[in-house]
Structure 1
């Protein structure tokens, strides 16, 4: 196991800043997911850790040793790429053994280590096969084995499942997580898939424009997003824009008591925090459609000002198109200029907006 320390990392390409003042400590055996949209800098951070990109400034240390200027082969890291990067002219055994041969190990040592790596990734007996005879998932297992056989201190995974179908992606991420926990290897995993991050990570680091927006455990990032960007990027989120005056969030359809300073604000509510109740015609929100996902019903709604929302309800509930409903809000967050103002549950309920019928009971 190993500890990774990143201090004030910065990378610019021809004047364009890809990573800006990024710092992170990764504990022994921890799996950290770098999550963000395309262009957020997550893969650039990973490539700098692996030595495939040189930082413009900052430092990278593994177990206290500065590896910032070391070449990839001199770093105690192993990297698995999205494209597998297997050699098609070599069979599976030789693909995995390549790095060991460069280290001039004996044939017996190489054979034992390769067979162990194949067994570890569930490909025992596949050594003589050609890589083009393997499925995409099997090729990715070979790429993982090729990294693990070198016994790196830090494992780096750059969107390794992006080219695979959903069911295979889900199965492989469970297998990789099991292997990582069994070996206790410190791992950084780059993805733009929030489901992968929530399912695999001990900690999620959300990046935006080369900077860290939030770094926390998955449940904290989901339930307590510290910026509006994180709230919208992790899971589904409803946003309602209005203003706060005198301790109340004032929307044309409802009032919500909040203890924040006056000014414009954005209310954020997850679909599962919205309960629906039937309302009289022309009151509350309008049902646009409902979709049955088996485990739940997702209801698409529209407020009278045109704001679109989603609510998650029990699978035995049915909602007619164009029906009017009241929304009962559970946990919510309030943001201003991307910064968190408060997270909480409504206290005392909502109040009727002046000169309009109440549209939301909170």
Structure 2
């Protein structure tokens, strides 16, 4: 059993810059939790504090109820995989992997067996004598993962490990890493700014902004039921339409829906797949561009107040640039003063 506990952790750098502001998080045994956010949100700083590469200004970090807040990295039961691979180019793959075990004075036979086993685990069986400089970027990242796993850490830490790889390789590697994580049942904290990676890999996603947690939830709830405008706009594509509620109805020049909230200004949040387009009905939204993705179409529109919105359609054929259409939201959320008042963005 390996669990991670982060309690009220903050990090203030010299000069007064607050990178992490009073964050608490519990990661259960075998769970993969993704820290997701834009650059400067504090996600990598939080990960580095868990690994011991940064010291918290305040708060507590525990692994299996043992306080590790002030322990150096080499004394923590964690394994870190960096974006830059951080491999020793003058060593072959075997020696890169064996280095940590040699420092721990493990027997030669055990080192050989563990290196062979971990190479097979990451799909690099037979690569032990290759120089790391002769490997592709994806192979180097597999070696970096193997180097962390060979020490059998209780907590695996991944700091944007796929950011330097091309899209196709990134997608393949994240599937492989997730398969390995599930097979080993290793507790994992993963940092990324890629929404697709978070949604496809994580058991839970923690969305961070300005050093704070905006929302922590299962991927499907983060997408379907965002609790703040920031989360709604950061995860996936979201249309925001500004209007007013009067007598239980949201009013905009191009959109009107029943909305049981108090009167006043309000922001409607609608996913492209939850927005239907109707040629009839006197609509005034103007189609700007239609894109055919094969599996679906995407229609870009201008509303009368200049707002740009996107709509996903099953087939792009009925729609053409310059036409006017009416908008019919099938599902939506409503925000006022950064507070969610109503709804879900998931269309049944």
Q: TM-score, normalised by structure 1?
A: 0.93
Unaligned runs of 5+ in 1: 347-362
Instruction: Report how far residue 339 of structure 1 moved.
Output: 1.5
Distance 1:139 1:254, change over 3 A: closer
Matched residue of 1:283: which SS?
coil
- Correspondence for 2:61: 60
Distance (whole Å) between structure 2 residues aligned to residue 278 and residue 90 of structure 1: 66
Q: Does 1:8 align with 2:12?
A: no
What does residue range 120-139 of structure 1 map to in structure 2 within 5 Å? 120-139=121-140
Contact 1:248/1:258, CA 8 A, preserved across alignment? yes
* Cα deviation 1:248-286 (Å, max 9, x = unaligned): 212133432111122221100000001112137x73311
Distance (whole Å) between structure 2 residues aligned to residue 176 and residue 63 of structure 1: 23
Q: Does 1:289 align with 2:273?
A: no
- Correspondence for 1:277: 278
What does residue range 100-179 of structure 1 map to in structure 2 within 5 Å? 100-179=101-180
Distance (whole Å) between structure 1 residues aligned to residue 60 and residue 316 of structure 2: 55
Instruction: Report how far residue 112 of structure 1 moved.
Output: 0.5
Q: TM-score, normalised by structure 2?
A: 0.97
Distance (whole Å) between structure 2 residues aligned to residue 276 and residue 250 of structure 1: 17
Matched residue of 2:7: which SS?
strand
What does residue range 196-207 of structure 1 map to in structure 2 within 5 Å? 196-207=197-208
Distance (whole Å) between structure 2 residues aligned to residue 244 and residue 316 of structure 1: 32
Matched residue of 2:146: which SS?
helix
Matched residue of 2:163: which SS?
coil
What does residue range 1-362 of structure 1 map to in structure 2 within 5 Å? 1-14=1-14, 15-279=16-280, 283-315=283-315, 317-344=317-344
Matched residue of 2:276: which SS?
strand
Unaligned runs of 5+ in 2: none
Distance 1:67 1:290, change over 3 A: same
Contact 2:119/2:127, CA 8 A, preserved across alignment? yes
Q: Number of aligned residue pairs: give it.
A: 345
Contact 1:279/1:324, CA 8 A, preserved across alignment? no
Q: How well do the aligned residues superpose, as a CA RMSD in angstroms?
A: 1.3
Matched residue of 2:251: which SS?
strand
Contact 2:7/2:23, CA 8 A, preserved across alignment? yes
Distance (whole Å) between structure 2 residues aligned to residue 283 and residue 315 of structure 1: 20
Distance (whole Å) between structure 1 residues aligned to residue 19 and residue 127 of structure 2: 40
Contact 1:153/1:185, CA 8 A, preserved across alignment? yes
* Cα deviation 1:308-344 (Å, max 9, x = unaligned): 1000001363311101111121110001122211115
Matched residue of 2:29: which SS?
coil
